[in-house]
Amino acid sequence: MTLKKATEELDRVIGRHRWVKEEDIAKLPYMEAIVKETMRLHPLAPLITPRLARYDCNVGGYDIPKGTIVLVNVWAIGRDPSIWDNPNEFFPERFKDKTIDVKGHNFELLPFGAGRRACLGNNLGLKVVQSTLANMVHGFSWRLPGNMKEEDLNMDEISLLTTSKKNLLLLWLRLDFHHIFILRLDRLKFTFHKVCSNTLLSH
């Protein structure tokens, strides 16, 4: 359903004859919401950078003595049922008509951290993710193979300092091209491999 709505928005705003440009993103609120929802459920850095308390303080009713090293678990905040309805559900519509942003102003959603040590590249990072995802949805047909159901899609992550998807994705184009591509997504690589036949898709 999410994919269908995103594709409808892209077809309406962009049309079928060109790729999405960076300046189009402001006209694609549903795509923006999808990125927020993805960052809520799958933050790149689940524990952000450790903080050191420079003086005794109280946060949310908890006393934090000076010298304490504090780990902020943004992964858990993003799935906290006291903040989010149905927190484990991927539901971009939850951001509709809300001003909540991802740049450290709203503590319930902190994919780029917050405060003085917040991500310095948040504008660049966000724009790259938004336009890459928008073009991946716009330019490719995403289908699950065989009888596989959405709930069977393996969303396992590999989590060290940062988190990435564990398993490869396969995809093919829906615009006016004839190449088959493999999208390789692993810890260190994010590359498209062009191949000439679709035989690989059955593997």
Binding site for ligand HEM (CB under 6 A): 44-45, 48-49, 111-114, 117-121, 124-125, 129
Q: What torsion do the CA atoms of 57, 60, 61, 67 make, to the nearest 10 degrees?
A: -30
Q: Which of 170, 180, 181, 179 is nearest to 145 (CA)?
A: 170
User: Is residue 196 part of an annotated ligand binding site?
Assistant: no
CB nearer to ligand HEM: pick between 165 and 174: 165
Helix (H, G, I), strand (E, B), or coil: what is residue 126? helix
Q: Give the chain's largest Cα–Cα span.
A: 64
CB nearer to ligand HEM: pick between 162 and 198: 162
d(CA 32, CA 129): 10
d(CA 202, CA 109): 39
CB nearer to ligand HEM: pick between 28 and 39: 39
The distance of closest approach from Cβ of residue 31 to ligand HEM in the complex, given in angstroms and rounded to an integer, is 15
The distance of closest approach from Cβ of residue 28 to ligand HEM in the complex, given in angstroms and rounded to an integer, is 17
DSSP assignment letter at 18: S
CB nearer to ligand HEM: pick between 106 and 198: 106
The distance of closest approach from Cβ of residue 49 to ligand HEM in the complex, given in angstroms and rounded to an integer, is 3
Q: Could you tell me where the DSSP H helices lie in the chain?
A: 2-13, 29-41, 74-78, 122-139
Detail the residues annotated as belonging to a binding site: 119
Detail the residues annotated as belonging to a binding site for heme: 119
